[in-house]
Structure 1
């Protein structure tokens, strides 16, 4: 049962918070807009006067024999509005003129319910003296004690229990909630203290299996949680969905509540009925501080294969910071979900460059196949993500080289920073231009395949490159992409790309492309690369093809002469 919103200042008096459900709230608001249709003009004026505590108008209309108990379309009377507005003089006027106190509106709300919610003890005393039903319930089964507890009206609760001795009002509503649970849900510390003092504390559950601790934790009421854990024996008690108070606090993103509950003995690894853990829900919701907090505790990272692991969820929801945190905590980068997909499969299918680069740098297994028999490379190719395809091929070639040269001088921590993203550095701009010229102006259609095989590109890698069709110049684009993939490997090995390109073109049967001129596939004479070994970079600098920074950069490879 939600709280009554804008009770004192809405002209339409929609009474949202005291209606049974969302649909009824909406219906009530719509009805409120046409509520005067069934009122006579003087009755409409009388309601307006009651809302504004205008006694002069009210007296004038009473003298004109207005029906003071006239109801609008929501079955609310002038007394409802006077009580809801805390208008003491208007309430007194209406009661003195025998206004009825037993009328309930369409949601079962009597004026005593409204008084308990509004918290005006004087009006409550007047209504009780006038004979209002103290045990009436609304459609949700809520009594005046529920309303007073829900809106933190401590004086009303004291009056009901200590003066009127109405402890029998402490019963469950239609949702199975006693007043104590409603106060906990709203985070009313003062009310919780008062109810405990009046011996109205309860560990009973509502119909969803939630205790007061569950409800306070769910809504992040730290002070209430701190009070309740001293009264609770079973801190890990689940509700009907298998959710503990700790799980609900994490699901709501409430870090302080989560810490309190953990210190009180909560188990961080208890999953709900859907086998979802607190870490998974925090990851899915992107609560970075909570994920960091959970990873610092005794959290179990291994997940059952029938569901997405935290790493899968972080990837699927594009939470790159959480992905890094999980990998830093040694989460299995090759964890499998129910479709036998690794996190890389998901990232490749989404085409997310940053996530794919992060997972590739973490050393994930690139050979894992999902239930459809597809690797991450095949998934990226199927989804037409050419950038991802190229990144995965770079990683396959890089890690193959690393495995073959473990412990060698090539495996140096002083090399270029590892990344599989497209290179945009200024130092390599001229080299990239040379490779573009080779692909688009000098290699004939499909000749790039011969060069690729000489560089030990696999059939699967060549096929993956070719699957991205871009029109009549697709062959040129495919060759260019292949050359950039090759360049990545050369740079990671800290070798001279110009020297290697010259030698490899000669060895692959393209000596005319390494130096001299030829006629390309379009029948046009083109000046080709002049890639004489050892002197190329230095000569290119003298000719103005390379900048000083490019020469120094390539000079680090030890090949400038």
Structure 2
């Protein structure tokens, strides 16, 4: 049998192994970067509808509210002043807490019910109660964005510097929810610049604004001199956080003041790699237009091209190739992007990389077997473009011959 025939046979055998291995890997493979937890998970538990929320469901034998107290809280949720007044006349405890340690005032403030809030404050409702997550009514007012409610709570003596269990204060919540008028009130009227502190994740309000992509908030915090180039506990700057979520307008605003577009986080990951990994094509194109460095000074685990291939972002792959990204760059496993695409069984990406002129001989840095192992998957691209076949098999035969000579020596 001629060398090409032997190579084809070896490729076909290895191809079966590849398909089985790829199928197993598909079920086991995790996202390299993990899923980011919601930065305001406590607020996600605030009820959004009338009636009983999940947080109010009685835990067997542990419900704290009496029937009238439960009715009073429901009335506060729905801004039902008539019912609130009737229950108040019956001496209901307006400060009663449910199993989440929330009072009627929590619900009235969280839903911006001005009348209910006014009623409760006039009847001396407590403004300092924190729920099981450390949320106070001042946090909810900042989160919901009602300046009227905020003014009422401050007048009633609410703690303006209170923090929840995540180390977040009113400025964090207002920033995260993009309520510029609340930020202006806290900083310019109440002069609470000391609220500009990192939370438990090491994130100051400026980083939260960038993470959410709030351009107006980023500009306002910059104007108030509350911007920062500091990193959070994960080693990310505002630029990295904005890139992670594909916020192109926010990235553009940040780069107007940022000195180093190529800055790495603690994992030696750049904003380009973050955007590439998450498939944010428009942001990748913008960063490439800003002449971001494709040849980094440190060796990451995966190059931007590897990350785009791993996550099957074909548009991003094409953008990187158009920007002259090194098509034969090796990752820490000594694999080229072609190896990764072939091992994952991605015919479309294999075709793209072959057409872009990747150097098939580059696999000699690993072994001829790697190329032979991927041969079946790569060969599938010939069904789409037979013009690649001759170049591929010529090199494959050459590699196979060199490999056999090396093995016999």
Q: Give the TM-score normalised by structure 1.
A: 0.59
Q: 1:153 aligns with which of 172, 179, 189?
A: 179
- Alpha-carbon contact 1:7-1:85 (below 8 Å) kept: no
Name the structure 1 match of 2:105.
79
Please list the CA deviations of residues 40-66 of structure 1 after superposition, one character each: whole Å capped at 9, or x if unmatched: 111111111111000111111111111
Residue 200 of structure 1, CA deviation? 1.0
- Measure the CA separation in 1 of the matches of 2:157 and 2:203: 27
Higher relative contact order (CA 8 A, sep 6+): 2
Name the structure 2 match of 1:176.
202
1:332 aligns with 2:370: no
- Measure the CA separation in 2 of the matches of 1:317 and 1:63: 70
Q: 2:58 aligns with which of 25, 34, 44?
A: 34
Residue 196 of structure 1, CA deviation? 1.1
- Measure the CA separation in 2 of the matches of 1:13 and 1:269: 56
- Measure the CA separation in 2 of the matches of 1:32 and 1:352: 57
Q: 2:374 aligns with which of 304, 328, 346?
A: 346
Name the structure 1 match of 2:95.
69
Residue 344 of structure 1, CA deviation? 4.4
- Measure the CA separation in 1 of the matches of 2:195 and 2:201: 15
Q: 1:321 aligns with which of 343, 348, 355?
A: 348
Q: 1:114 aligns with which of 121, 140, 163?
A: 140
Please list the CA deviations of residues 233-284 of structure 1 after superposition, one character each: whole Å capped at 9, or x if unmatched: 1111110111111111111111221222223331123387652000000011
- Alpha-carbon contact 2:351-2:381 (below 8 Å) kept: no
For residues 335 and 356 of structure 1, do their structure 2 counterparts lie closer, same or farther at Cα, with a shift above 3 Å needed? farther
Residue 343 of structure 1, CA deviation? 4.5
Name the structure 2 match of 1:312.
339
1:220 aligns with 2:246: yes
- Measure the CA separation in 2 of the matches of 1:199 and 1:147: 18
For residues 123 and 272 of structure 1, do their structure 2 counterparts lie closer, same or farther at Cα, with a shift above 3 Å needed? farther
Name the structure 1 match of 2:168.
142
Name the structure 1 match of 2:36.
none
Residue 299 of structure 1, CA deviation? 1.2
Name the structure 2 match of 1:292.
318
Residue 301 of structure 1, CA deviation? 2.1
- Alpha-carbon contact 1:222-1:257 (below 8 Å) kept: yes
Q: Secondary structure at the match of 2:374?
A: helix
Structure 2: runs of 5 or more not aligned: 1-38, 405-409
- Alpha-carbon contact 2:269-2:300 (below 8 Å) kept: no
Q: Secondary structure at the match of 1:354?
A: helix
- Measure the CA separation in 2 of the matches of 1:43 and 1:9: 20
- Measure the CA separation in 1 of the matches of 2:76 and 2:136: 16
Residue 190 of structure 1, CA deviation? 1.1
For residues 352 and 256 of structure 1, do their structure 2 counterparts lie closer, same or farther at Cα, with a shift above 3 Å needed? closer
1:10 aligns with 2:49: yes
Name the structure 1 match of 2:396.
365
For residues 123 and 273 of structure 1, do their structure 2 counterparts lie closer, same or farther at Cα, with a shift above 3 Å needed? farther
- Alpha-carbon contact 1:283-1:313 (below 8 Å) kept: yes
Residue 339 of structure 1, CA deviation? 7.2
Residue 328 of structure 1, CA deviation? 1.5
- Measure the CA separation in 1 of the matches of 2:251 and 2:105: 39
Q: Secondary structure at the match of 2:71?
A: helix
Q: 1:101 aligns with which of 104, 118, 127?
A: 127
- Alpha-carbon contact 1:269-1:277 (below 8 Å) kept: no
- Measure the CA separation in 2 of the matches of 1:131 and 1:37: 29
Please list the CA deviations of residues 321-361 of structure 1 after superposition, one character each: whole Å capped at 9, or x if unmatched: 2211211121123443867643541354xx78725767755
Q: 2:150 aligns with which of 104, 108, 124?
A: 124
1:133 aligns with 2:159: yes
For residues 271 and 327 of structure 1, do their structure 2 counterparts lie closer, same or farther at Cα, with a shift above 3 Å needed? farther
Q: Secondary structure at the match of 1:173?
A: coil
